Amino acid sequence: MTEPLLRVENLVRTFGGITATDNLSLQAAEGELHAIIGPNGAGKTTLITQLTGQLQPNSGSIHFGGRDITRLPAYKRSALGLARSFQITSLLRDFTAADNVALAAQAHDGHSFYFWGNARKEKHLREAAHATLSRVGLEPRADVIVSRLSHGEQRQLELAVALATKPRLLLLDEPMAGLGVSESARMVELLKELRREVTIILVEHDMEAVFALADRISVLVYGRVIACDVPAAIRTNEDVKRAYLGEQHAVTRHD
Amino acid sequence: MLLVVEQFLNGLQFGLLLFLLAAGLTLVFGIMDLVNLAHGSLYMMGAYFAATFVAWTGNFLLGIVLALGASLLLGIVLELVALRHLYGRDHLDHVLATFGLILFFNDAVRLIWGPAGLALPLPAWLTVPVQIVPGVFYPAYRLAIIVVALAVALGLYLVVMKTRVGMLIRAGASNREMIGALGINIKLLYTLVFGLGAALAGLAGLMQAPILTVQIGMGENILILAFVIIVIGGIGSIRGAFLAAIFVGMIDTLGRAFLPDLLRKILSSAAASTAAPALSSMLIYLLMAIVLVIRPEGLFPASKR
Amino acid sequence: MTASFNARNAVAALVVAGLVLLPLYSSLSGNIFILTLFTRIVIFALAAISLNLIMGYGGMMSFGHAAYLGIGGYAVGILAFEGIGSGFIQFPVALASSALFALVIGALSLRTRGVYFIMITLAFAQMAYYVASGLARYGGDDGLTIYKRSDFGGLINLSGKVQFYYLCLFCLLGGIYLVWRIVNSRFGLVVQGLRSNEARMQAIGFPATRYRLVCFVIAGMMCGLSGALNANNTDFISPAVMYWTRSGDLMVMVILGGMGSLFGPVIGAIVYLLLEEFLSQLTEYWALVMGPLLLLIVLFGRGGIMGMLGRSGRD
């Protein structure tokens, strides 16, 4: 069997007494769209932040492209081709949309210890930015300051910023969060296109989107993968049903 | 040996004094998230109030009590007029605004009391040396400072740990949103906490007054020390402030007392006598730098924001 | 928005023109004092510009920036005292020692964030202050008189009032130009991006600390230059220039003028020092007015003077 693009083995992360990631193993093959679902508090975002290097695991290992990246800082992982979007929109709010994307391109265009030339006039960075913006349908809004963009536009920009780093693996943390129906549909279309070019790990609550897009789905409960299979099999999996039904009960009781 | 005991007590006394100052600062910092550079001015005002009221009433204790009340009142007024409008603003705004308050207080004092310092003479019953262990005498007044400061620290501990207000204070220091959610009158709580901090600063100032001269700018050096303490201790942590204050007080005092002799053993005596004061002043800053490099959030971070 | 942008530019252009023409006014009116005053203002404006680079653009709230005023000043003072009068040695030493100091304290301080960063930079500056107080050979607490200003051969005479003023102005304008280039460069965008959202910048592949550190060192060197000029201006250097209230003064100038705007700190320095001068002539108790004024500016004038003139499109 060939080496998968991403291989996570026996990952453990605890906060105080709580085990957020519990001996978790996961693989994503080159070219697949691998969705991660699970009830609230299952540790999805904790997993993503460990994959990107913002959080260090207590034990276990992460291999990317055959290389052990468990202890690499975030910026080095990005250089290797790992990109993420944030669940809660995390952009440079006082910069324009084009600036945000151009900076991502700049990060992967050699070092940035250039003190003299005007970076906003570097043609290839600007062109790359505009090309990426038009891919996500944001080109007309290129020169708008991020804080003046709508929530949906900011979600699209999140994706554009991640894409501009020319990643081999895209980690998308709830890209549909807070989107309206038509915006969600547009995002699904976009992801359908993207999956042809890049391996994607998608964390998402929108089940319709997940089952429409995913090659495989991993179900996370209490920091553990309880099932990992193709969508059709996950749909009928008894453990998964129980986990989700359990959560729904809990939710209705609290409300 | 005698000298060691005496310097040790001096260190403790200075440390406790620093704690009184740092406690108010760390509460205001931890709960209201306010960087108050003017805290040192409140310390200075406490000393000036004491010198004035003692001279006016002719009674040391009565004067001190009046000065304490005046400090509390000044703190409350200051909070109501100016500082409450700064909550929720950027730390830099705090620095700028309270820097302005320092300028104001320094000149206000110069206008009212004149540029020359004041003296606060001790009553006779506080100037006698007390025999603490056979053969070791220690000034009664410094001993009184230790006792009062320890009592205040204990009182503060009880208030913070055992009372409802204290519970709110602790909740506020570790999670500011929470007390808002509890439906507490936050404005009143903030005013009270600030007034308490001001009274503690005033108490530190007026207790220090008979030992040093009461003068303009006396609050500035010691303010920086108090900041060093709360940073070492971890912002918002009373316990951290207490331990760090004792630690800093000891290091500063013992350093000043013994470093010259130590240095003389290594350097020529001329070089040692000039290098020692500088080096002992530096010690605390060095300590803080080391602590922050190793633990960037202080020794006892009160909150995990 | 275009109109407000122009207002800011117009003010900046007026200020530059005024500063350039000042010696002319001084000699025509016979008012020498104003030239002395503005030499001081221009020197402190350079220091404020450098602080703005890290504080306004880089988000690094240094409360120890006056340390470089001292380091630059002592480089000149000590070398002069030891008989090395050449400015071609004194100034490079001033810049190099400032850079070295910035490199060391920056590498340590940048491990911390927020208020802790404010405090650790303050602590390092205070250490520098006490080191200077301990330099018995160079006057200790009392400071060191500089009997001869830096000697630049026949190139420029620092003892000539007008020449020295223009040298300082040249350094200030050069500093502003440098900051302008940096802010718009690749490096500058990275540093500003880090101020805006560090996690995002790390995620797209920028190592935060090394960019911040280089920025910190550049600002330190600029302020060191200001310190070297200041020592020449006052013919004297003492630990007092490094005292924490001096760092506070610099911060006030930057915030007053408008953080993160190119000309803001210059205007802040002019307004702050002129106000100080004006009020101290008016009354002995000038700080009674200045203090509450600062408070009012914070409460009602957000974004400093440049902020009140309106925001520009980009910064």
Residue among C210, C192, C204 at smallest CA distance from A75 = C204
* Cβ neighbours of A31 (radius 10 Å): 13
Q: Is residue C315 part of a domain?
A: no
The CA distances from residue C281 to A130, A218, C286, in Å, are 58, 76, 8
Torsion, Cα of B183, B184, B185, B189 (10° steps): -150
**pLDDT for position A101:** 96
Q: What is the mean pLDDT of residues C193-220?
A: 95
Whether B64 and B50 have beta carbons less than 8 Å apart is answered as yes
What's the whole-number average pLDDT of chain B? 86
Residue among A87, A113, A83, A88 at smallest CA distance from A101 = A83
CB pairs under 8 A between B and C: 140
Whether C238 and C142 have beta carbons less than 8 Å apart is answered as yes
State which residues form the domain around C264.
2-308
Residue among C261, C247, C290 at smallest CA distance from C65 = C247
**pLDDT for position B71:** 96
pLDDT tens sequence across C63-92: 999 999 999 999 999 999 999 999 999 999
Q: Is residue C313 part of a domain?
A: no
CATH code of the domain containing C252 = 1.10.3470
What's the whole-number average pLDDT of chain C? 91
Q: Is the pLDDT of residue B146 over 60?
A: yes
Whether A194 and A136 have beta carbons less than 8 Å apart is answered as no
In A56-134, the DSSP E strands lie at 59-64, 67-68, 82-85
Beta bridge partners of A36: A203, A218
pLDDT grade for C1, boundaries at 50, 70 and 90 = very low
Token pair of A164 as six digits: 């501009």
- Cβ within 8 Å, pair C116-B228: no
Nearest residue of chain C to residue B87 (CA atoms): C299
Surface-to-core class of residue C156, CB atoms within 10 Å of its CB (0-12 exposed, 13-18 middle, 19+ buried):
middle
Nearest residue of chain A to residue C177 (CA atoms): A116
Q: Is residue C48 part of a domain?
A: yes
CA–CA gap between residue C90 and residue B155 (Å, rounded): 58
The rounded Cα C274 to chain-centroid distance in angstroms is 16
**pLDDT for position B305:** 35
- Cβ within 8 Å, pair C196-A94: yes
The CA distances from residue B95 to B19, B91, C1, C248, C259, in Å, are 22, 6, 30, 8, 14
CA–CA gap between residue C280 and residue C270 (Å, rounded): 15
Q: Can you list the domains of chain A with their CATH numbers?
A: 1-81+167-190+198-255 (3.40.50.300), 93-166 (no CATH)
The CA distances from residue C19 to A59, C14, C28, C219, in Å, are 63, 9, 15, 23
Full DSSP string of B103-138: HHHHHHHHHHH-SS-B--PPPGGGTSEEEEETTEEE
CA–CA gap between residue C172 and residue C45 (Å, rounded): 7
pLDDT grade for B170, boundaries at 50, 70 and 90 = confident
- Cβ within 8 Å, pair C116-B100: no
User: Within an 8 Å CB–CB cutoff, is residue B29 touching chain C?
Assistant: yes
Q: Is residue C314 part of a domain?
A: no
Three-point CA angle B108, B110, B111, nearest 5°: 65
Q: Is the pLDDT of residue C126 over 70?
A: yes
Nearest residue of chain A to residue C191 (CA atoms): A112
CA–CA gap between residue B271 and residue C13 (Å, rounded): 53
pLDDT tens sequence across C90-115: 999 999 999 999 999 999 899 888 88
- Which chains have 3 or more CB–CB distances shorter than 8 Å to chain C? A, B
- Cβ within 8 Å, pair C205-A78: yes
- Cβ within 8 Å, pair B103-C130: no
Q: Is the pLDDT of residue B299 over 90?
A: no
**B106 interaction partners in chain C (CB closer than 8 Å):** 287
CA–CA gap between residue C34 and residue C192 (Å, rounded): 37
Whether B42 and B205 have beta carbons less than 8 Å apart is answered as yes
Which of A238-242, B177-181, B265-269, C130-134 is least confident?
B177-181
CA–CA gap between residue B103 and residue C294 (Å, rounded): 10
- Cβ within 8 Å, pair C185-A120: no
Token pair of A28 as six digits: 């994503």
Token pair of C182 as six digits: 């940096």
Report ipTM (2 d.p.).
Answer: 0.89
pLDDT grade for C282, boundaries at 50, 70 and 90 = confident
CA–CA gap between residue B70 and residue B77 (Å, rounded): 10
User: Within an 8 Å CB–CB cutoff, is residue C115 touching chain B?
Assistant: yes
pTM: 0.89
- Cβ within 8 Å, pair A91-C190: no
Q: Which of residues 62-91 of B touch C (CB under 8 A)?
A: 82, 85-86, 89, 91
**pLDDT for position C82:** 96
Beta strand A59-64 with A6-15 is: antiparallel
Whether B72 and B199 have beta carbons less than 8 Å apart is answered as yes
**C193 interaction partners in chain A (CB closer than 8 Å):** 92, 95, 103
**pLDDT for position C2:** 47
**A106 interaction partners in chain C (CB closer than 8 Å):** 186, 189-190
pLDDT grade for B280, boundaries at 50, 70 and 90 = confident
Token pair of B194 as six digits: 């600030």
**C242 interaction partners in chain B (CB closer than 8 Å):** none
Q: Regarding predicted confidence, which is higher, C312 or A254? A: C312
The amino acid occupying position B128 is V
Number of domains into which chain C is organized: 1
CA distance to partner chain B, nearest, from residue C285 (Å): 6
pLDDT grade for C147, boundaries at 50, 70 and 90 = very high
Whether C200 and A102 have beta carbons less than 8 Å apart is answered as no
Q: Which of residues 236-275 of C touch B (CB under 8 A)?
A: 244-245, 248, 251-252, 255-256, 259
* Best to test chain A binding among C189, C214, C222 (most A CBs inside 10 Å): C189
Nearest residue of chain B to residue C133 (CA atoms): B278
SS3 content of chain B, % helix, strand, coil (to 5): 75, 5, 20
**pLDDT for position C307:** 79
Nearest residue of chain B to residue C297 (CA atoms): B97
In A168-223, the DSSP E strands lie at 169-173, 199-203, 216-221
Whether A23 and A224 have beta carbons less than 8 Å apart is answered as yes
**pLDDT for position B185:** 74
pLDDT tens sequence across C221-258: 999 999 999 999 999 999 999 998 899 899 989 988 88
Range list of H helices, C82-149: 87-109, 114-133
In chain C, the DSSP E strands lie at 144-145, 236-237
Q: Is the pLDDT of residue B227 over 80?
A: yes
The per-residue pLDDT string of chain A (255 residues; one tens digit each, 9 = 90 and over) reads 578 999 999 999 988 778 889 999 999 999 999 999 988 888 898 999 999 998 999 999 999 999 999 999 999 999 999 999 988 889 999 999 999 999 999 999 989 999 999 999 999 999 999 999 999 989 999 999 999 999 989 999 999 999 999 999 999 999 988 888 888 898 999 999 999 999 999 999 888 889 999 999 999 988 899 999 999 999 888 888 887 766 554 443 333
The amino acid occupying position B276 is A
User: Within an 8 Å CB–CB cutoff, is residue C190 touching chain A?
Assistant: yes
CA distance to partner chain B, nearest, from residue C47 (Å): 17
User: Within an 8 Å CB–CB cutoff, is residue C283 touching chain B?
Assistant: no
Token pair of C72 as six digits: 């630059």
Q: What is the mean pLDDT of residues B46-56?
A: 95
**pLDDT for position B302:** 61
Q: Which of residues 171-210 of C touch B (CB under 8 A)?
A: none
- Cβ within 8 Å, pair C133-B277: yes
**pLDDT for position C101:** 97
The rounded Cα C280 to chain-centroid distance in angstroms is 23
Whether B254 and B7 have beta carbons less than 8 Å apart is answered as yes
Q: What are phi and psi of C309, to 5 degrees?
A: -80, 0
- Cβ within 8 Å, pair C291-B104: yes
Nearest residue of chain C to residue B85 (CA atoms): C299
Q: Regarding predicted confidence, which is higher, B292 or B85? A: B85
CA distance to partner chain C, nearest, from residue A100 (Å): 9
Q: What are phi and psi of B91, to 5 degrees?
A: -60, -35
Q: Is the pLDDT of residue B269 over 90?
A: no
CA–CA gap between residue B35 and residue C138 (Å, rounded): 36
CA–CA gap between residue A112 and residue C191 (Å, rounded): 10
**pLDDT for position C113:** 85
pLDDT grade for C138, boundaries at 50, 70 and 90 = very high
**C207 interaction partners in chain A (CB closer than 8 Å):** 73, 75-76
Q: Is residue C46 part of a domain?
A: yes
User: Within an 8 Å CB–CB cutoff, is residue C208 touching chain A?
Assistant: yes
CA–CA gap between residue B206 and residue C189 (Å, rounded): 51
CA distance to partner chain A, nearest, from residue C32 (Å): 38
**pLDDT for position A168:** 94
CA–CA gap between residue A24 and residue A13 (Å, rounded): 9
Q: Is residue C179 part of a domain?
A: yes
Residues of A with CB under 8 A from a CB of C: 52-54, 73-76, 78-79, 83-84, 86, 90-95, 99, 103-104, 106-108, 112-120, 122, 161-162, 164-165
- Cβ within 8 Å, pair C196-A95: yes
Partner-chain residue, chosen from C187, C200, C206, that has the shortest CB–CB distance to A115 = C187
CA–CA gap between residue A91 and residue A139 (Å, rounded): 17
**B96 interaction partners in chain C (CB closer than 8 Å):** 251-252, 255-256, 294, 297-298
Torsion, Cα of C268, C273, C279, C281 (10° steps): -160
Q: What is the mean pLDDT of residues C3-27?
A: 88
Beta strand A82-85 with A169-173 is: parallel
CA–CA gap between residue A97 and residue A103 (Å, rounded): 10
Helix (H, G, I), strand (E, B), or coil: what is residue B131?
Answer: strand
pLDDT tens sequence across C157-201: 999 999 999 999 999 999 999 999 999 999 999 999 999 999 999
Q: Is residue C114 part of a domain?
A: yes
The CA distances from residue B43 to A163, B93, B221, C20, in Å, are 57, 22, 11, 46
Residue among B214, B295, B225 at smallest CA distance from B255 = B225
Beta strand B129-133 with A199-203 is: unpaired
**pLDDT for position B177:** 64
Beta strand A169-173 with A199-203 is: parallel
**B95 interaction partners in chain C (CB closer than 8 Å):** 63, 118, 248, 251, 255
**pLDDT for position B163:** 85
- Cβ within 8 Å, pair A52-C188: no
Q: Can you list the domains of chain B with their CATH numbers?
A: 16-294 (1.10.3470)
Residues 6+ apart with CB under 8 A from B176: B31, B33
Report, in angstroms and rounded to the nearest whole number, the Rg of chain B calculated over CA atoms.
20
Token pair of B191 as six digits: 């005013």
The rounded Cα B239 to chain-centroid distance in angstroms is 14
Which of A9-18, A64-73, B140-149, B281-290 is least confident?
B281-290
Partner-chain residue, chosen from C112, C140, C290, that has the shortest CB–CB distance to B296 = C112
Nearest residue of chain B to residue C295 (CA atoms): B97
